Chain A
Amino acid sequence: MSDSLAARHAEGAQYQQETTVFGMWVFLVTELMLFGALFTLYASYRYFYPEAFLAGSQLLNAGLAALNTAVLIVSSLCIALAAQAAQAKKRGLLTLYLLGAAGLGLLFMVLKGVEYSQHYADRLVPGIAFAYQGAHAPQVQLFLLLYFAMTGVHAIHLLIGIGLVGTVALRLWLRPAAEHGTEVELVGLYWHFVDVIWIFLFPLLYLVGRHA
């Protein structure tokens, strides 16, 4: 009798965990619709103004963005290893990986800030400081507007991700003996999603004009 109760309890806990993970996936689908609208705008305007998107892309720092892509990929590795450590109940490793991921996330934000300040110095910020004189100037401005909207919304998501990872690390520190597997998995799903978005932003924004 007690055996079957324990079994049913374990089954209930697993069901609960699967439900929360599924809920996170449904949330990520709605997030994809948000970014999907921006990608659709991008596709439409790139169809109308291919030369301006090429010229606009050349104004960006592709090398720094490639470095930032690597930073995000390694941060995703940290989160994946953190989920593994949480399952194995290795608290030291879990803390290390969480802090590593958050640190790499912050490094991404710093490099992004360097990029943004360079755009400001180059007078490439639509609406605030824009003085691009080349061909297709209004369409290049449109490209840069999309660039700031897409990378900006992405950066906000990454900031939220850093906050969530920090929160999990704090909870781990306050209640070390408690179960943390599910929350690490949930935060991880969000983190990887933000990484996937960047993986599409990188070629669409930075690599379009590299060959010219």
Chain B
Amino acid sequence: MPESRLTTRDYLLVCGALLALTALTYAAAGFDLGIWNAIIALGIAALKAALIILFFMHARGGIPLVPITIAAALLWLAILLAGTLNDVVTRGWLHVPGR
């Protein structure tokens, strides 16, 4: 844990942004925006997660191995999702007799 250069004010600002984004995602979900509902909801969630990881978890400007670890985690998660959804989404494409 390297010496944190973040001040109490910084933490309060990040917390305020997280609460504002929560209100925003809750409000945005009330409108029927088609596919954009999911994109906005996941985009805001990703932004909130990034704020927590970068500031609260000190991933920024800390131990150099930590960003690499996070990148590796996201890569494996992407492989898991892409590999599975590759099967799920394309199942109906080939019209296998008997199915």
With A70-B22, A84-B11, A203-B41 known to touch, is A79 a contact of B69 (CB < 8 Å)? Answer: no
For B22, list chain A residues within 8 Å (CB): 66, 69-70, 73, 202
Q: Does A196 interact with chain B (Cβ within 8 Å)?
A: yes
- Taking a contact as CB atoms under 8 Å apart, the answer to whether B45 and A199 are in contact is yes
For A211, list chain B residues within 8 Å (CB): 29-33, 37
Q: Does A48 interact with chain B (Cβ within 8 Å)?
A: yes
How close is A119's CB to chain B, nearest CB, in angstroms?
20
Could you tell me which residues of chain A, from 179 to 212, have a CB within 8 Å of some CB in chain B? 181-182, 185, 188-189, 192-193, 195-196, 199-200, 202-204, 207-208, 210-212
Q: Does A32 interact with chain B (Cβ within 8 Å)?
A: yes
Partner of B73, one of A22, A32, A182, A212: A32
For B53, list chain A residues within 8 Å (CB): 192, 196
- Taking a contact as CB atoms under 8 Å apart, the answer to whether A84 and B45 are in contact is no
For B30, list chain A residues within 8 Å (CB): 210-211
Q: How far is the CA of A69 from the CA of B32 in the complex (A)?
A: 22
Partner-contacting stretch, out of A37-45, A103-111, A125-133, A162-170: A37-45
- Taking a contact as CB atoms under 8 Å apart, the answer to whether B49 and A36 are in contact is no
Q: How far is the CA of A104 from the CA of B71 in the complex (A)?
A: 31
With A36-B80, A199-B48 known to touch, is A210 a contact of B11 (CB < 8 Å)? Answer: no
- Taking a contact as CB atoms under 8 Å apart, the answer to whether B41 and A81 are in contact is no
- Taking a contact as CB atoms under 8 Å apart, the answer to whether B4 and A44 are in contact is no
With A47-B88, A203-B45, A207-B41 known to touch, is A21 a contact of B25 (CB < 8 Å)? Answer: no
Interface residue tally for chain B (C-beta within 8 Å) = 51
Q: How far is the CA of A83 from the CA of B25 in the complex (A)?
A: 29
Q: How far is the CA of A25 from the CA of B67 in the complex (A)?
A: 10
Q: Does A95 interact with chain B (Cβ within 8 Å)?
A: no
B46 to chain A: closest residue by CB: A200
With A62-B26, A74-B15 known to touch, is A200 a contact of B88 (CB < 8 Å)? Answer: no
- Taking a contact as CB atoms under 8 Å apart, the answer to whether B66 and A29 are in contact is no
- Taking a contact as CB atoms under 8 Å apart, the answer to whether A25 and B29 are in contact is no
B22 to chain A: closest residue by CB: A69
For A87, list chain B residues within 8 Å (CB): 1, 3-4
Q: List 6 A-B contacts (CB under 8 A).
A: A40-B81, A43-B88, A44-B85, A77-B14, A80-B11, A199-B48
Give A residues with C-beta under 8 Å from B. 17-18, 21-22, 25-26, 28-29, 32-33, 36-37, 39-40, 43-44, 47-48, 62, 66, 69-70, 73-74, 76-77, 79-81, 83-84, 87, 181-182, 185, 188-189, 192-193, 195-196, 199-200, 202-204, 207-208, 210-212
A29-B72, A182-B1 known; 8 new pairs, CB 8 Å cut-off, are A25-B70, A29-B69, A76-B15, A76-B52, A77-B15, A192-B56, A199-B52, A203-B45
